[in-house]
């Protein structure tokens, strides 16, 4: 695991700290830290992520069986290797995907970053994530800089716009995110 990741023995529970105000787009003033706790589906180890964090964070909702999510794995692998100044965290929220089935898939998919099992879809509901893949790029102080699809195609090789890559390029170069919101394509998160 990358340095900076704390762990805590909390099993498969995912919790959200209370006391955070949200605007219609992005975080409003953060009054207390947001804490994501759960199980890394790749290793079955406990995992804890807190905001504000020392670097920007990408939360991307993924599925172990959605063809659209699976077609974007190679792009997510490449982005995680290229943008090491951003903390990548995958989230598996589908109620019809068990921890065991998610573990089998994400262990072998070699994304290069942890994937939390979102028990009870708390994180998906909190961010209003609707599809897989659905990405949320957060600043180090917890503001949503980008939300939406990784690309403009459900089959990544056919995409002519790579929204997430553009957002990461803009963030890294200090520019305003050119497309802060993009349509998420893929399978609906099963609630």
pLDDT of 45: 87
Asked if 18 and 33 touch (Cβ cutoff 8 Å), the reply is no
User: b or e along 102-122 (b: 16 or more beta carbons within 10 Å of the residue's beta carbon)?
Assistant: bbebbeebebebbbbbbbebb
pLDDT of 34: 64
Place of tokens 């999510």: 69
CA–CA distance, 103 with 106 (Å, rounded to integer) = 5
pLDDT of 33: 59
Asked if 115 and 42 touch (Cβ cutoff 8 Å), the reply is yes
DSSP 90: E
pLDDT of 134: 98
Q: Which stretches of the chain drop beneath a pLDDT of 50?
A: 1-32
Task: Sketch out the chain's domains with CATH numbers.
Answer: 53-188 (3.40.30.10)
């Amino acid at each position: 695991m990358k340095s900076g990741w704390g762990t805590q023995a909390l099993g498969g529970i995912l919790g959200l700290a209370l006391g955070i105000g949200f605007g219609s787009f992005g975080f409003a003033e953060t009054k207390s830290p947001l804490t994501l706790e759960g199980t890394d589906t790749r290793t079955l180890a406990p995992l804890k992520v807190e905001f504000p964090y020392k670097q920007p964070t990408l939360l991307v909702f993924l599925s172990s069986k959605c063809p659209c999510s699976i077609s974007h794995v190679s792009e997510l692998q490449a982005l995680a290797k290229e943008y090491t100044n951003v903390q990548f965290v995958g989230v598996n929220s589908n109620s019809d995907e068990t921890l065991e089935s998610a573990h089998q898939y994400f262990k072998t998919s070699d994304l290069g970053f942890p994937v939390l099992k979102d028990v009870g879809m708390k994180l998906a509901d909190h961010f209003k994530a609707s599809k897989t893949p659905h990405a949320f790029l957060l600043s180090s102080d917890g503001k949503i800089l980008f939300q939406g699809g990784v690309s403009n195609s459900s089959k990544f090789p056919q995409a002519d716009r790579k929204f997430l890559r553009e957002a990461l390029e803009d963030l890294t170069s200090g520019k305003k995110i050119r497309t802060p919101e993009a349509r998420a394509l893929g399978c609906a998160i099963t609630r």
